[in-house]
C-alpha cells in the first residue's frame, strides 16, 4: 500500500512507449508535437499596417500630406513616397518601403488628394515590422507543445501543412462482474445494470481518447486470463473495471500474476479507490480499477488520465489544480487521503453530499474534486483546500 503522492510520482516518472505520426495540421488539434518546429518564414513576412488609414513618408512638423496612391491588403504594390506624401492603406496591407508611419483614418481629414493629420505620429507608429513576431529559422514551437487552437493558428500562419505528433495510445476497456446485466434486459434479484463501461468510455472520449474495444469479461478464470493476454498484446493500455479485490471470485489479480504482469503498485491509501492495481507487461500497461463506479471514475481522473496523457506526449499533464476556501468544515474519518466530489461556488468550493463510492449521483453534479491529505483530519470552514477541476 502506497500513498497518493507516491502513486502520482510513480506515474509521472514512467517513460511510456510512444509512437509518432504525421498529421495534417487541421487534424492535429489536442495532439502533442514530437519534434521542434522552426519558422520556415518570418512573421510578419513583410512590414504591414496595423490600421485602416494612411501610410506616410514623414516630413518634419508637416500636417498636410499629398495622397498619391492606395495599397489594399494582399496587394504587392510598393509605391515610392517622397517626404510629405501618403498612400491610403488598410489593415494587413504591405507598408511601402519608403513610408515610415501609419496614421489611423479616424485621426485625419481628407479633401480630394489632400490629407490633414490631427497629430504627427512618431516613426514606426501602427507598423508591424517584418519579423517582429518571429524570425525565419527561429524555434516556433518546441517538441512537447500541445496543439491548442492558438498553436494550430500560429503554425498555419507560418504556412505549415503537416506536423509530426505523438499518436494517442490505444486503449482496451474490460468490464468484470457477473452481477452485471446489459441495459434493455430486466433485472433479477441481485443483478444490476452495467454502467462502468459507458462511464469510462465517456471519460475517455471527453479527455481525447477512444477505446478500441469494450468487452464484458465472463466471470471464469481461464477466459479472464485469455482475454487479458490478448488485450495486453494488442493495446498500449488495458483498463479493467472490477475483479481486483480480495473476494474469492475476483480473478483479475490472479490472472495478471500468472501472465507475469509486473506489479508497479497495488493499493493506495486513499478513499475512494483503495484497491487500484497498476502494472506493466512489455510496453503495455494495465490499470485494474475498483468496480464501484465512483471509485473507478476517481481513479481514472487522478491516475489513468495522467498516464494516457503522458503516453500521448504531454509530459507535464495534470488536472488543473487550484486552492480554494472550503465552504463548510470537513471532518475526515480514518487515515486514508480523501478525494471528494465537489462543486465550485462563488465563495470557494463545496463538498457534495453522498460521497459513497457506490454512488454516482453526487459525481454527476460535481465539477471538481477536493483533496484532503492523509494527515489532515479536520479541515475548517474557510481553510484553503487543493481542488482538482474536472475536465
Residues from 297 through 336 that contact its own copies (CB under 8 A): 297, 300, 320, 322, 324
C-beta closer to its own copies: residue 98 or 230: 98
Q: Which of 247, 282, 334, 382 binds its own copies (CB under 8 A)?
A: 247
82 binds its own copies (CB under 8 A): no
Under 8 Å between Cβ of 349 and 325: yes
Burial 236-259, CB ≥16 within 10 A → b, else e: bbbbbbbbbbeeeebbbbebbeee
79 binds its own copies (CB under 8 A): no
213 binds its own copies (CB under 8 A): no
145 binds its own copies (CB under 8 A): yes
Q: How far is the CB of 298 from its own copies (least distance, A)?
A: 10
C-beta closer to its own copies: residue 248 or 375: 248
135 binds its own copies (CB under 8 A): no
C-beta atoms surrounding 348 within 10 Å: 19
248 binds its own copies (CB under 8 A): yes
Under 8 Å between Cβ of 383 and 326: yes
C-beta closer to its own copies: residue 197 or 279: 197
Q: What is the DSSP string of 212-226?
A: EEEEEEPS-HHHHHH
DSSP annotation of 94: B
Q: Which of 128, 168, 338, 350 binds its own copies (CB under 8 A)?
A: 128
Q: Which of 191, 263, 318, 345 binds its own copies (CB under 8 A)?
A: 191
Under 8 Å between Cβ of 79 and 69: yes
Calpha distance 366→369 (Å, rounded): 8
Q: Which of 201, 216, 264, 352 binds its own copies (CB under 8 A)?
A: 201
113 binds its own copies (CB under 8 A): no
C-alpha cell at 61: 512638423
The torsion angle over the Cα atoms of residues 86, 90, 94 and 98, rounded to 10 degrees, is 10
- Residues 251 to 290 in contact with its own copies, rule: CB under 8 A: none
Q: Which of 200, 299, 337, 372 binds its own copies (CB under 8 A)?
A: 200
352 binds its own copies (CB under 8 A): no
249 binds its own copies (CB under 8 A): yes
Q: How far is the CB of 23 from its own copies (least distance, A)?
A: 12
Tell me how far the alpha carbon of residue 7 is from its chain's centroid. Answer: 21
Interface region with its own copies, contact rule CB under 8 A, candidates 58-66, 193-201, 227-235, 372-380: 193-201
Burial 42-64, CB ≥16 within 10 A → b, else e: bbbeebbbebbbbbbbbeeeeee
Q: Which of 91, 135, 229, 376 binds its own copies (CB under 8 A)?
A: 91
Amino acid at each position: 500500500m502506497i500513498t497518493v503522492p507516491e502513486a502520482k510520482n510513480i506515474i509521472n516518472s514512467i517513460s511510456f512507449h510512444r509512437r509518432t505520426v504525421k498529421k495534417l495540421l487541421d487534424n492535429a488539434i489536442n495532439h502533442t508535437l514530437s519534434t521542434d518546429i522552426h519558422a520556415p518564414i518570418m512573421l510578419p513576412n513583410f512590414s504591414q499596417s496595423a490600421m485602416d488609414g494612411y501610410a506616410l513618408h514623414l516630413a518634419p512638423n508637416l500636417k498636410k500630406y499629398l495622397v498619391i496612391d492606395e495599397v489594399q491588403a494582399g496587394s504587392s504594390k510598393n509605391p515610392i513616397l517622397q517626404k510629405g506624401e501618403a498612400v491610403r492603406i488598410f489593415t494587413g496591407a504591405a507598408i511601402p518601403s519608403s513610408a515610415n508611419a501609419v496614421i489611423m483614418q479616424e485621426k485625419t481629414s481628407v479633401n480630394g488628394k489632400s490629407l490633414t493629420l490631427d497629430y504627427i505620429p512618431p516613426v514606426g507608429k501602427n507598423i508591424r515590422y517584418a519579423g517582429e513576431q518571429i524570425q525565419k529559422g527561429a524555434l516556433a514551437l518546441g517538441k512537447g507543445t500541445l496543439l491548442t487552437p492558438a498553436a494550430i493558428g500560429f503554425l498555419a500562419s507560418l504556412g505549415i501543412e503537416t506536423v509530426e505528433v505523438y499518436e494517442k495510445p490505444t486503449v482496451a476497456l474490460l468490464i468484470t462482474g457477473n452481477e452485471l446485466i446489459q441495459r434493455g434486459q430486466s433485472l433479477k434479484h441481485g443483478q444490476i445494470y452495467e454502467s462502468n463501461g459507458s462511464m469510462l468510455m465517456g471519460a475517455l472520449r471527453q479527455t481525447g481518447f477512444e477505446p478500441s474495444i469494450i468487452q464484458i469479461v465472463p466471470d471464469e478464470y481461464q477466459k479472464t486470463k485469455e482475454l487479458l493476454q490478448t488485450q495486453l498484446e494488442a493495446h498500449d493500455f488495458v483498463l479493467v473495471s472490477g475483479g481486483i479485490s480480495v473476494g474469492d471470485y475476483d480473478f483479475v489479480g490472479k490472472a495478471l500474476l500468472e501472465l507475469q504482469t509486473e506489479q508497479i503498485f497495488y493499493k493506495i491509501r486513499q478513499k475512494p479507490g483503495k484497491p487500484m492495481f497498476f502494472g506493466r507487461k512489455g510496453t503495455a500497461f494495465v490499470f485494474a480499477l475498483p468496480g464501484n463506479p465512483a471509485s473507478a471514475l476517481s481513479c481514472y481522473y487522478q491516475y489513468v488520465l495522467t498516464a494516457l496523457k503522458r503516453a500521448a506526449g504531454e509530459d507535464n499533464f495534470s488536472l488543473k489544480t487550484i486552492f480554494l476556501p472550503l465552504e463548510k468544515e470537513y471532518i475526515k474519518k480514518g487515515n486514508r487521503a480523501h478525494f471528494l466530489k465537489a462543486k465550485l461556488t462563488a465563495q470557494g468550493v463545496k463538498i457534495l453530499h453522498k460521497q459513497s463510492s457506490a454512488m454516482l449521483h453526487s459525481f454527476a453534479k460535481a465539477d471538481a474534486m477536493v483533496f484532503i491529505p492523509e494527515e489532515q483530519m479536520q479541515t475548517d470552514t474557510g481553510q484553503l483546500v487543493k481542488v482538482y477541476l474536472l475536465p
